[in-house]
Amino acid sequence: MKNMLQENTIKLSSSYAVASKARDYFQLMKFNLTFMVVFSSVVAYLLVPGVEFNLIKVLLLFAGGLLVSGSANTINQIWEKETDKLMARTAVRPLPAGRMADTEAIFLAVITGIGGLVIMVVAFNWLSAILSLVSLVIYGFVYTPWKKWNSLAVLVGAIPGALPLLIGWAAGANELSEGGWALFAIQFLWQFPHFWAICWLAYKDYAKAGFKLLPANGEPNKFTAMQSAMYTLLLIPAGVAPYFLKLTGPVSAIIAIAAGMFFLFRAINLYRKCDAVAARKLMFGSYIYLMVVQLAYLFDKV
């Protein structure tokens, strides 16, 4: 009886250790954020004229995208280990909390990065793999250190943030045509109000870490809110570009305009009130906008 209890205890301890390690890897790769990014890539892939839904291809694109994005996020956290210790929301991450050594994180970044790129080459084409590599390098080695220099880091970070649309398009079309660039432009513009809303809420934490992410290295104020409103306004005409390029039908164009107006209203509300409540509404509004518009495109594909 005693031996059985000891065996069960060992099994439970082992299971807990495995689950804890898997949770750390998921946290290091920012799985939730990565999933949303890769979803955008799949939408772009399925919007390519002539591409039909193929479950195997979609799963392979998800796998390749998750691995490459996860590698970029891991590199980001290796760079920012010391600054993550200074911020309440990031101090519990595996590296700053001391649950994982730098060498293990580096190994994970290399393995996932190579694995994702191999999937893109074998399952799709070299163009999508090269774009994936460009996205990884810009995010991990340009945007990440730039965050401490000046607020242009947001502009730099918006490039790898929107590249998944081009990657998905290239995976299906094996070229960079107007449709891919139109989808890229939408997500590129979307990131500014989205990210500045997050920065507004986390401003004190970012300031502790020395990150300069709000416009003109400033603070949460009307200038930041005005910039956010300008980008949401630009999203309205950008949102109907897929219709004019004959990728999607009129229903999705109407939905994109309505979602853009909703997003703009929340940005104007932030300008009027300049408080954390309005910033939080803008942040959640950005998620709603992107999900609604991308699904509308998908279901209204011509």
Tell me the pLDDT tens digit for each residue of 26-35: 888 888 788 8
Alpha-carbon span 198 to 211, nearest angstrom: 13
Q: Decide if 8 is inside a domain.
A: no
Residues 190 and 296 in one domain: yes
In a domain, 56, yes or no: yes
Same domain, 85 and 50: yes
Task: Based on the fold, state whether residues 237 and 154 are members of the same structural domain.
Answer: no
Residue 18 lies in a domain: no
CATH number for 139: 1.10.357.140
Q: Is residue 5 part of a domain?
A: no
pLDDT of residue 60: 97
Q: Which two tokens stand for residue 67?
A: 């691995």
Residue 17 lies in a domain: no
**Which amino acid type is present at position 71?**
S
Residues 158 and 217 in one domain: no
Do 250 and 142 lie in one domain? The reply is no
The verdict on 243 and 154 lying in the same domain is: no
- Residue 41's domain comprises 25-176
260, 300: one domain? yes
Using the Cα atoms of residue 270, residue 274, residue 275 and residue 279 in order, give the sign of their dihedral.
positive
Same domain for 289 and 221: yes
- State the Cα torsion 228-34-109-97 to the nearest 10°: 80
Q: What is the DSSP string of 249-299?
A: -HHHHHHHHHHHHHHHHHHHHHHHH-SHHHHHHHHHHHHHHHHHHHHHHHH
- Asked if residue 144 and residue 184 are part of one domain, the reply reads no
Q: Which residues of the chain have pLDDT under 50?
A: 5
194 and 298 part of one domain = yes
Query: For the chain, what is the domain count?
Result: 2
The position carrying tokens 């990210």 is: 195
Show which of 137, 159, 176 is a domain's final residue.
Answer: 176
157 lies in the same domain as 215: no
Residue 126 domain-assigned (yes or no): yes
Write down which residue in 121, 148, 176 finishes a domain.
176
Same domain for 31 and 92, yes or no, is yes
Picking from 176, 197, 223, the residue at the C-terminal end of a domain is 176
Distances (CA, A) of 105 to 136, 147, 226, 262: 16, 21, 39, 41
Residue 191 lies in a domain: yes
Is 20 a domain residue? Answer: no
In Å, how far from its chain's centre is CA 236? 21
Burial class from Cβ neighbours inside 10 Å (0-12, 13-18, 19+) for residue 168 reads buried
Report DSSP letters for 201-238, one per residue: HTHHHHHHHT---SGGG--SSHHHHHHHHHHHHHHHHH
Distance CA 260, CA 301 (A): 19
Neighbours of 250 (CB within 10 A): 10
Phi, psi (rounded to 5 degrees) for 248? -130, 165
186 contacts: CB under 8 Å, gap ≥ 6: 165, 235, 238, 239, 241, 293
46-58, pLDDT tens digit by residue?
999 999 999 999 9
